[in-house]
């Protein structure tokens, strides 16, 4: 199957795109899992979440989109086929969704916090801000490191990206570049940026092949089932494939860190302030990369 990612067409198994490796998290060998994270920059955690809690959040998002006429009702509602012309949405700043009790029940579930604590080897915490997404047809995410959005606390935060629905390979699955957490020159430049302080914006690259040609590695992805998750570092290059289906892809990406380490203050509070860029001219990261020589 021909897959799309940004401006490129990729084939699974070609030089740019391969399969993700599944982590054996149920075995409970967290030292080995930490070593795997250190090596690859990610852990694919199949079936991490309680299915009923995942389904409650998916339902919340489907009902919301349906309420605004964004779902094509000539198909079963559960298929979440996008209405003609409807687009996806990011719901992080929509308190009626992001702060809904069913979302808290998923992202702060006691068993999940226990698992994150086991990973860190110390009690874990998450943030008040919650990231929820519906990715519509034709949409996808561009390549970036998360550290640029979480640069004012501990750099040892991790992102937990969660499939809230089954996500076939043509429905914009998350992809990461294996080993991109070892790109020392990128970490020393891009990885030190604070967009608001440095007046920078945008993603790392709009061309997912160029990133590989320049820095090596390859994108890895998979089909997800609702409740599967990918845990990855702040220095793991990630993006999504393009949604070439007619259905919405539902996901959340929440952050976890050791509770005893500094927190980026923008993501906690009631409501959290979030990230904002200063008025006036901004340079794109892609322009700045030329200066950095990366
Ligand atoms: O869900 C996506 O497509 C992007 C997610 C993302 O950028 C993240 O988890 O940091």
Q: Is 40 in the pocket of ligand 1 (CB under 6 A)?
A: no
Q: Is 243 in the pocket of ligand 1 (CB under 6 A)?
A: no
> What's the pTM value of the predicted model, to 2 decimals?
0.98
CATH of the domain at 288: 2.60.120.620
Q: Which helix (H) or strand (E) holds 240?
A: strand 238-240
Does position 2 have pLDDT exceeding 80, yes or no?
A: no
Residues contacting residue 283 through CB under 8 Å, at least 6 positions apart: 199, 200, 201
| Burial (CB count <10 Å: 0-12, 13-18, 19+), residue 265 | exposed
Q: What is the tally of structural domains in the chain?
A: 1
Q: Are 170 and 3 in contact (CB under 8 A)?
A: yes
Structure tokens at 215: 């820095």
Q: Is 255 in the pocket of ligand 1 (CB under 6 A)?
A: no
Per-residue pLDDT tens for 246-283? Answer: 999 999 999 999 999 999 999 999 999 999 999 999 99
Q: Is 161 in the pocket of ligand 1 (CB under 6 A)?
A: yes
What is the domain extent for residue 97? 2-292
Per-residue pLDDT tens for 22-79? Answer: 999 999 999 999 999 999 999 999 999 999 999 999 999 999 999 999 999 999 999 9
Residue with the two structure tokens 């990230």: 275
Q: Is 237 in the pocket of ligand 1 (CB under 6 A)?
A: no
Question: 29 alpha carbon to ligand 1 midpoint, in Å?
Answer: 27
Does position 1 have pLDDT exceeding 80, yes or no?
A: no
For the CA of 232, the nearest atom of ligand 1? 9
Q: Are 47 and 228 in contact (CB under 8 A)?
A: yes
Mean pLDDT over all residues of the chain? 97
The rounded distance, in Å, linking the Cα atoms of 82 and 121 is 42
Q: What are phi and psi of 158, to 5 degrees?
A: -125, 150
- Which of 141, 162, 224 for mutating ligand 1's site (highest number of atoms within 8 Å of CB)? 141
Q: Is 141 in the pocket of ligand 1 (CB under 6 A)?
A: yes
Per-residue pLDDT tens for 198-238? Answer: 999 999 999 999 999 999 999 999 999 999 999 999 999 99
pLDDT value, residue 213: 98
Q: Are 149 and 275 in contact (CB under 8 A)?
A: yes
For the CA of 146, the nearest atom of ligand 1? 10
Q: Is 36 in the pocket of ligand 1 (CB under 6 A)?
A: no
Q: Which helix (H) or strand (E) holds 154?
A: none
Per-residue pLDDT tens for 76-102? Answer: 999 999 999 999 999 999 999 999 999
Question: 117 alpha carbon to ligand 1 midpoint, in Å?
Answer: 22
């Amino acid at each position: 199957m021909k897959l799309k990612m940004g401006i490129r067409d990729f084939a699974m198994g070609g030089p740019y795109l391969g399969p993700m490796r599944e982590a054996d998290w149920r075995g409970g060998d967290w030292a080995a899992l930490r070593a795997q994270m250190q090596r690859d920059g990610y852990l694919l955690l199949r079936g991490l979440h309680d299915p009923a809690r995942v389904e409650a959040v998916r339902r919340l998002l489907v009902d919301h989109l349906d309420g605004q006429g964004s779902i094509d009702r000539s198909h079963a509602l559960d298929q979440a086929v996008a209405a003609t012309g409807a687009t996806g949405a990011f719901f992080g700043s929509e308190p009626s969704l992001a702060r809904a009790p069913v979302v808290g029940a998923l992202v702060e579930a006691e068993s999940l916090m226990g698992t994150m604590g086991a990973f860190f080897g110390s009690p874990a915490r998450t943030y008040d801000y919650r990231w929820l997404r519906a990715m519509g047809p034709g949409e996808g995410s561009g390549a970036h490191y998360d550290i640029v959005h979480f640069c004012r606390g501990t750099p040892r935060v991790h992102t937990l990206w969660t499939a809230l629905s089954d996500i076939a390979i043509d429905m914009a699955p998350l992809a990461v570049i294996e080993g991109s957490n070892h790109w020392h020159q990128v970490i020393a430049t891009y990885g030190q940026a604070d967009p608001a302080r440095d007046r920078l914006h945008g993603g790392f690259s709009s061309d997912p092949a160029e990133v590989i040609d320049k820095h090596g590695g390859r994108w890895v992805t998979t089909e997800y089932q609702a409740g599967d998750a990918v845990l990855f570092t702040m220095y793991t290059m990630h993006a999504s494939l393009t949604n070439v289906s007619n259905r919405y892809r539902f996901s959340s990406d929440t952050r976890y860190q050791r509770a005893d380490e500094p927190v980026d203050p923008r993501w906690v509070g009631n409501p959290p302030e979030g990230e904002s860029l200063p008025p006036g001219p901004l340079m794109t990261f892609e322009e700045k990369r030329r200066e950095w020589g990366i």
